[in-house]
Amino acid sequence: MKSARLPGLRSIRLALGAVREHSGAPGAELYVKAGNTCRIEIDPWMTPVTTDPDDLQAQVSVLDERGWALRAGGARRALFLADSGPLPGPSGWRRVNRHSLRPGALRLPSPSSDTTPRTTPSPAADAGEPPPDDEETAGLAFLRDLLRCLGERMPEARLVRGRLDSGASAAVLASTTGVTGRSARRLATVELDFAISRDGRQTHCSLYRAASNLHLLGADSIAGEIAERLTLATAPPPPFLPTGEVAVSPALACNLLALLAPLLRGRDGWRRLRKLGAGQPLGPPQLQIVDDGALDAGWMSAASDDEGVPTRAVALVRDGEPGEPLLSWEDDGWSGYAAAGCRRRSGWRALPELCHSHLYIAGASEPAESIRSGIVHGCYLLDRAHDGRCQATFEPSTNGGERRPEEGRFEVDAIGLVIRRGAIVGEAPKVRLTGSLRQLLRGIRAIGDDLRFLPAPGAVGAPTLLLTGLQVEAVG
Amino acid sequence: MRSNANGAEQRRRLISDVAAPADALTRLVAHGDQQFEAFFERVESVELLPKGAPNRVRLRKEQGLAIRKIENGRSRLAAADTISGPAFAACCDRVAGTARSIGTAPPRIRTGRWPALRLAEIEQAESRLTRAVNRRRVGFPMEITARRHRRQIQVIRSPIAAPPQFEEYFSLQAKTPWGVWGGLLPSLADEDLDPIALCLVDRLRSRGLPPHRGGAGVIVLGPNAAAVLLHEVVAHALEADTLALSGAPDQAVGLKLGGPELDVVDDPSSAPRVCKRSSDDEGTAVISRWLLRRGRVRQPLADLAWAERCPGMIPGAARRASRHRLPGPRTSHLELLPGAIPEGDLFAEAAGGIYIGEFDSGSLDPLNGRCVLRAPCGRRIGASGPVDHTGPIEIRSRAADLLAAVTAVADRPLAAGAGWCAKDGALMPVWARCPSIRLEGLQVAD
């Protein structure tokens, strides 16, 4: 997205002046966002992967999106107004008047004194905008490559559904308190659903991957992941499932970390995280959990969040102990902790909300391969089972159910391998991994060096983990 | 009177003159296999949050257009977040793949006025719902979020312009200490709020109760719950794109899915007054479509693309979540035709079973046909009807088994089961009209 398409700060300040004049609001903030996306969708025709790539029923959409959001008001009356299209000129704000403000409060951040917002877009966004036709050509080529690579590995697989989004967006904001911010990012995501019928067993697998650039998605590696998952999902269940050690791949570890996300943000999350530790360390000394809105080369990387507050790395868990909470500017100074830019909007229509940007378990020095090969008798779990459970409960049920002494449990259905003395001795097409959230962190015995990010809301990253003390049982 | 009606019609028009864009679209057609379609959309949502929330009133407006080329079953779409001649021309160029595809001058497109912003009815929602609860001689703290949604669309498929469509409806979320209720309403009048009060009081009385664990038995579903079940296992299952996941969609016609008491129709033109449609989101006239006739599949839901691929299918069920999404076949307003059994008799023959008034979520796995329905509470059926309350209930079953288990349909249909459908991440309002039904021989999982 070319930043020239966005209004300059002077235009926004003029608009803010007009809003204050017409509405009498003491404070106001304007957020403007523009973006474009090339989307390629494959219709659900159960396309065999060996089909002629030119016969793909590809539906192409080229989307231009732009809109703005206004927050105006004071301590007693406020307004939130969002609209599509370009920002109105100063005379276009007459419709916002004193009657537009309704009971409610508006609070806006003040400019930070200790940090200067960097206005440089992330490196990914700096790379320039390829023409939409190029994106379409590259997207179709990626899908064809993917089908070819998968066809070579697993010719009986069928593409059920596919969707590839590749685009760029840029945003600018300014408020009457003097806060300004700019951000720009590029992102390519692919959602794939494949099915297979083998030895009378039918199954399918879904994959959702993202990269800051379409060319970084890697058709061959994704095809490999799909083939691996389909092979496992169609395997017969093992006669015996060892429950001692469980190694989880980065993909599954990301899902487990995402389940913990409510404990890792805000004041309430911090209280629960401390309670989870109950005065003891949360995990091993090498455990570091970080949220970093300014992560180098991250998909969501930006100098400031969607309210113009500078982002930074926040060590949520440091050396296995609670580090510092992820707090927005409204909670700055709570319990002596500093805030970070962490309020994001899901789009121009949305208000900013406290959320993670790059939440990850930092990789350690142990090679992931040595973790897998070091399993004496256990499982290596590869990913979530497509149609299985993946949930965590944080409070005892208020509507019945047993009350448990420890706070929070999780259960995740996964696919994986049975390992004995480092060698694969069988497949586990569907197992259920369960346990307490406390044990999930405390039972981490090794952390690999293969940190990888997956798209969740935001980006969630984790390396291979070796877990102990959890329950594993066969399902189905 | 006529001038007033015309005035209202004018105000509901999204664009004042459809001739210019229709004429421009005809210039795009290079050969007979190509079709071009323009979709104009205007959406408004007003949200009133509970007292004390920041930015309590939230107003979102947006408008835009999309141009689509359909050729040999493939679509190419270009969309923009503004309605103007230059934006129209730019989108035409993108789908045609050439510059100045409609000539040098973009068509003049003028938009009508937005409907007046009426906040009073939304502001009264909380007090009206509280009164409806109090009429049942109970009271408890609630945080109410009320929203009004309006959508205007205009579709032009060269050279025909479909009638403009306008929808207005409300959504409500009531947060109580024991859970959240959410749903759609055609209005915020007392008669639409009363059933919600009943649901909230049922949830109050079942709070803290353990999940219901039971074996096979009789289950009576109230109109709301029956609507959710039919939405999942009939409507979704008979959408052409869902059918295509397991074979050719038209091969489903004639399949027996349930007993002869099941007559299910999808008819967008008989939805609640403020949401009824005369044409779908592709501009095709809607029809009253028999999905199931005496338990057999009659006519799956299809849009233009699927009707082109499967000649036996009739288009008219296309819906799009927004101008940025391609249309797809979706249900709008589902009706289960009433049976001959008085509602009281359903209970008389179901003593010892479970009554479920509402499901708060449902899902269907289109590849294996498994369906999961979750109810926040239920009631045991005694000799005289529903008696004591139970905790949450979860039903897991195959869609075919659920339909085969329906043994009786009551004689009194009600508008019920309105809610958001989130298939493929595209949020759309759905409406229904259903009587109560009885199921026998189902497993109720915990």
User: Encoding tokens for residue A193?
Assistant: 């659903």
The CA-atom distances, in angstroms, between B210 and each of A399, A460, B168, B356, B446 are 6, 35, 39, 15, 10
- Return the CATH number at A14: 3.30.2290.10
Calculate the average pLDDT of chain B: 90
Q: Is the pLDDT assigned to residue A287 strictly greater than 80?
A: yes
- The verdict on A446 and A415 lying in the same domain is yes
SS3 per residue for chain B: CHHHHHHHHHHHCCECCCHHHHHHHHHHCCCCCEEEEEEEEEEEEEEECCCCCCCCEEEEEEEEEEEEEEECCEEEEEEECCCCHHHHHHHHHHHHCCCCCCCCCCCCCCECCCCCCCCHHHHCHHHHHHHHHHCCCCCCCCEEEEEEEEEEEEEEECCEECCCEEEEEEEEEEEECCEEEEEEECCCCHHHHHHHHHHHHHHHHCCCCCCCCEEEEEEEECHHHHHHHHHHHHHHCCEHHHHCCCCCHHHHCCCECCCCCCCEEECHHHCCHHHCCCECCCCCECCCEEEEECCEECCCECCHHHHHHCCCCCCCCEECCCCCCCCEECCCEEEECCCCECHHHHHHCCCCCEEECCCCEEEECCCCCEEEEEECCEEEEECCEEEEEECCEEEEEEHHHHHHCEEEEECCCEECCCEEECHHHCCEEEEEEECCEEEEEEEEEC
**Chain B: closest CA distance from residue A420 (Å):** 33
Of the candidates A81, A82, A103, which has its C-beta nearest B56's C-beta? A103
**Chain A: closest CA distance from residue B58 (Å):** 5
Q: Is the pLDDT assigned to residue B251 strictly greater than 80?
A: yes
Calculate the average pLDDT of chain A: 87
The domain containing residue A447 runs over which residues? Answer: 245-474
Cβ–Cβ gap B57/A80 under 8 Å: yes
Q: Which of B37-41, B264-268, B319-323, B369-373 is the least confident region?
A: B369-373
Q: Is the pLDDT assigned to residue A46 strictly greater than 70?
A: no
What residue of B is the nearest CA neighbor of A42? B74
pLDDT band at B16, cuts 50/70/90? confident
pLDDT band at A455, cuts 50/70/90? very high
- The verdict on A470 and A340 lying in the same domain is yes
Cβ–Cβ gap B54/A107 under 8 Å: yes
- The verdict on A366 and A464 lying in the same domain is yes
- The verdict on A211 and A346 lying in the same domain is no
| A411 close to B (CB below 8 A) | no
pLDDT band at B1, cuts 50/70/90? very low
Q: Is the pLDDT assigned to residue A18 strictly greater than 60?
A: yes
Q: Return the higher-pLDDT residue of A94 and B430.
A: B430
- The verdict on A343 and A431 lying in the same domain is yes
Give the DSSP H or E segment for A368. Answer: helix A368-373
Reported ipTM: 0.89
- Angstrom distance (rounded) from CA B302 to CA B286: 11
Q: What is the pLDDT of residue A45?
A: 62
Place of tokens 């990269």: A211
- The verdict on A306 and A204 lying in the same domain is no
In a domain? residue A308: yes
pLDDT band at B159, cuts 50/70/90? confident
Section A427-454 average pLDDT:
93
Q: Which of A27-31, A120-124, A376-380, A390-394 is the least confident region?
A: A120-124
- Angstrom distance (rounded) from CA B288 to CA B444: 34
Section A172-195 average pLDDT:
93
In a domain? residue A238: no
In a domain? residue A110: yes
| A141 close to B (CB below 8 A) | no
- The verdict on A182 and A252 lying in the same domain is no
- The verdict on A23 and A164 lying in the same domain is yes
pLDDT band at B8, cuts 50/70/90? low
Q: What is the pLDDT of residue B89?
A: 96
In a domain? residue A239: no
The C-alpha angle A16, A17, A18, rounded to 5 degrees, equals 90
pLDDT band at B113, cuts 50/70/90? confident
Place of tokens 């849009």: B303
Q: Is the pLDDT assigned to residue B60 strictly greater than 60?
A: yes
Contacts of B210 in chain A (CB under 8 A): 400-401
Cis before A285? omega within 30? no
Of the candidates A78, A84, A86, which has its C-beta nearest B55's C-beta? A78
| A102 close to B (CB below 8 A) | yes
pLDDT band at B293, cuts 50/70/90? very high
Q: What is the pLDDT of residue B32?
A: 80
User: Residues 364 to 403 of A: which have CB under 8 A from any B CB?
Assistant: 387, 398-401
- The verdict on A89 and A151 lying in the same domain is yes
Q: What is the pLDDT of residue A233?
A: 84
**Chain B: closest CA distance from residue A120 (Å):** 27
Output the CA torsion A372→A377→A383→A385 (10° steps): 170
Q: What is the pLDDT of residue B21?
A: 92
B29, B36 Cβ separation under 8 angstroms: yes
Section B377-389 average pLDDT:
91
Contacts of A104 in chain B (CB under 8 A): 49, 53-57
Count the domains in chain A: 2
B296 closest CA partner among B351, B253, B348? B253
Give the DSSP H or E segment for A394. Answer: none
- Angstrom distance (rounded) from CA A340 to CA A70: 23
| B191 close to A (CB below 8 A) | no
User: Encoding tokens for residue A461?
Assistant: 């990253």
Q: Return the amino acid letter for A257.
A: L
Q: Is the pLDDT assigned to residue B4 strictly greater than 80?
A: no
Q: Which of A343-357, B44-58, B107-121 is the least confident region?
A: B107-121
Contacts of B75 in chain A (CB under 8 A): 59-61
Q: What is the pLDDT of residue A3?
A: 40
Share of chain B above pLDDT 70, in %: 96
| A60 close to B (CB below 8 A) | yes
**Contacts with B355 (C-beta within 8 Å, 6 or more apart), sequence order:** B219, B220, B221, B222, B347, B378, B379, B380, B381, B385, B386
- Angstrom distance (rounded) from CA B284 to CA B272: 20
Give the number of beta-carbon pairs within 8 Å between A and B.
Answer: 137
pLDDT band at B73, cuts 50/70/90? confident
User: Residues 304 to 323 of B: which have CB under 8 A from any A CB?
Assistant: 305
Cβ–Cβ gap A398/B76 under 8 Å: no
Cβ–Cβ gap A44/B64 under 8 Å: no
Place of tokens 């370009």: A86
Q: Return the amino acid letter for B219.
A: I
Domains of chain B (ranges; CATH) run 2-204 (3.30.2290.10), 208-444 (no CATH)
In a domain? residue A240: no
Phi, psi of A241 (to 5 degrees): -115, 110
User: Residues 333 to 352 of A: which have CB under 8 A from any B CB?
Assistant: 349, 351
Q: What is the pLDDT of residue B344?
A: 87
Of the candidates B54, B62, B326, which has its C-beta nearest A106's C-beta? B54
Q: Is the pLDDT assigned to residue A403 strictly greater than 70?
A: no
- Angstrom distance (rounded) from CA A453 to CA A298: 9
**Chain A: closest CA distance from residue B222 (Å):** 22
- The verdict on A448 and A309 lying in the same domain is yes
pLDDT band at A119, cuts 50/70/90? very low
Q: What is the pLDDT of residue B55?
A: 84
For an interface test with A, the pick among B37, B42, B49, B58 (most A C-beta atoms closer than 10 Å) comes out as B58
For an interface test with B, the pick among A29, A76, A84 (most B C-beta atoms closer than 10 Å) comes out as A84
pLDDT one-digit tens code per residue, B297-316: 999 999 998 898 888 899 99
What's the DSSP call for residue A304? B
User: Encoding tokens for residue A259?
Assistant: 């389940």
Q: What is the pLDDT of residue B255?
A: 94
- The verdict on A267 and A128 lying in the same domain is no
pLDDT band at A197, cuts 50/70/90? confident
Q: What is the pLDDT of residue B11?
A: 53
B423 closest CA partner among B329, B317, B288? B329
Q: Return the amino acid letter for A181.
A: G
Place of tokens 């509507």: A399
pLDDT band at B115, cuts 50/70/90? confident
User: Residues 134 to 173 of B: which have CB under 8 A from any A CB?
Assistant: none
Strand partners, B409: B437
What's the DSSP call for residue A323? -
Q: Is the pLDDT assigned to residue A128 strictly greater than 90?
A: no
For chain A, what's the residue count? 476
**Chain B: closest CA distance from residue A46 (Å):** 6
Q: What is the pLDDT of residue B12?
A: 63
Cβ–Cβ gap B368/A202 under 8 Å: yes
Of the candidates B77, B82, B179, which has its C-beta nearest A85's C-beta? B82
Share of chain A above pLDDT 70, in %: 90
Strand partners, B253: none
In chain A, what is the straight-line distance between the N-terminal and C-terminal CA atoms, in Å? 48
Give A121-189 as a DSSP string: PPHHHHT-PPPHHHHHHHHHHHHHHHHHHHHHH-TT-EEEEEEEEEEEEEEEEEETTS-EEEEEEEEEE
pLDDT one-digit tens code per residue, A316-357: 999 999 999 999 999 999 999 999 999 999 999 999 999 999
- The verdict on A386 and A465 lying in the same domain is yes
Section B322-343 average pLDDT:
94
Q: Return the amino acid letter for B5.
A: A
Section A141-170 average pLDDT:
91
CA atoms within a 13 Å half-sphere pointing along the CA-CB vector of A278: 10
Q: Is the pLDDT assigned to residue B317 strictly greater than 70?
A: yes
Q: How many CB atoms lie within 10 A of CB A467?
A: 25
Q: Return the amino acid letter for B35.
A: Q
3-state SS class at A374: coil
pLDDT band at A53, cuts 50/70/90? low
pLDDT band at A1, cuts 50/70/90? very low
